[in-house]
Amino acid sequence: MMVSHEKELILYIDDEKEHLDSFKVLFRKDYDVKTANSAKEGLEMMNNNDVRLVITDQRMPNMTGVQFLEKIADIHPNVPRVILTGYSDEEAIISAINKGKVFRYITKPWKKEELKKTIDFALETFYLKIENQELIESLKKINKELDEFVYRASHDLRAPLASILGLINLSKKEPDIKVIQEYIELKEKSVKKLDFLIRDIAQFSRNIHLGIRNEKINFEEVTNNAIELHRFFEDSPKINKSISINVEGVFYTDSMRLEVIINNLMSNAIRYSNKDIDNPTIEIIVNSNAESAEIKVIDNGIGIEKEYQDKIFGMFHQGVDHNTGSGLGLYIVKETVDKLKGKISVKSTLKKGTTFTVTLPNLLNPTT
């Protein structure tokens, strides 16, 4: 991995002014160099600046280089530390390694080429360490979600299956045709719930494993397809649906993932529509330009209580009606938006409706 050094901030500490001036003159073209003439001043600069690397002389009054590095080791653990020592400072070198957790020591007088290589290697190590920490945190999140996913998905798959099997056994013993018809309707609901869950599991898997495809988007086609797909959903025929699209130029993103976002928001709006009003509505508004696209899905449904609005994107979170959906829909929407480097927000008022706003960057230069 090669690191692009765009004026990375380096702190150099030495109590001799000519050394500070010399270092700054030699390296200011390559790095953003800050200097300090004491360990105390160096600590202040470390706390007030986003330092990427610290280099310190060992022999300084009041606080040695080793003592300084020991102080910052716990406060700034990711910042690489380099110490400059004399040939005879064997004890200081050992202390620097053991106490100051030094990245490297360089004997004085140092050479520009040697120090430059050390700086570049240290900065590369810094970014690798940061990336590694981010990867570890990401893996922890994935493992936690995977454990929860397997547990909840297996439970949610078995529950409707057990219900269907129970209804089948009852149907075998039931002579009344009307009652059997009721059992069939209940079985249909269980099958639909299974279908929702299997669909969401498939979307969840595709979003994790498939790379992003950069494609030209026809928003009119995508939104009309979403309405057509949900045409015969329960309660959907009673809802008035409208589309408003304003496109400036062309827009590129992953069409499959865009469809997942819009379809899931549409099905969510239908599921939580207000059955007690005369004119239930769902509106899809798209505004896009060379930079980004903003997609709004607006309904006048039952709304979301304020206390739950920061939880709706959690895995297996379900709204007021726990008998519909898988609890994965909005979680998948959020994960898909994140995958496309976008943002999603929600505004909702109980018994008045909900607005989901998705902003996606325009992925220019398509690979076609």
Decide: 158 and 197 in contact? Cβ < 8 Å.
no
Given this model, what pLDDT does residue 1 score?
42
pLDDT band per the 50, 70, 90 thresholds, residue 12:
very high
The tens digit of pLDDT for each residue in 324-368 reads 555 677 888 998 999 899 999 999 999 899 999 999 999 875 444
pLDDT the model gives residue 151? 62
Q: Which of 48-62, 135-149, 334-348, 350-364 has the lowest mean pLDDT?
A: 135-149
- Pairing between strand 9-13 and 292-299? unpaired
Fold of 9-110: Rossmann fold (3.40.50)
pTM for the whole structure: 0.54
Q: How far is Cα 314 from Cα 142, in angstroms, rounded to an integer?
A: 13
* Spatial CB neighbours of 64, under 8 Å, sequence gap ≥ 6: 39, 58, 92
CA angle 305, 307, 311 (to 5 degrees): 100
**295-316 per-position pLDDT tens digit:** 999 999 999 888 888 888 876 5
The encoded tokens of residue 136 equal 């570890």
Q: At 323, is the pLDDT very low, low, confident or very high (cuts 50, 70, 90)?
A: very low
pLDDT at 28 over 70: yes
Separation of alpha carbons 254 and 181, rounded Å? 44
The CATH number that domain 213-368 falls under is 3.30.565.10
Domain boundaries, the chain: 9-110, 213-368
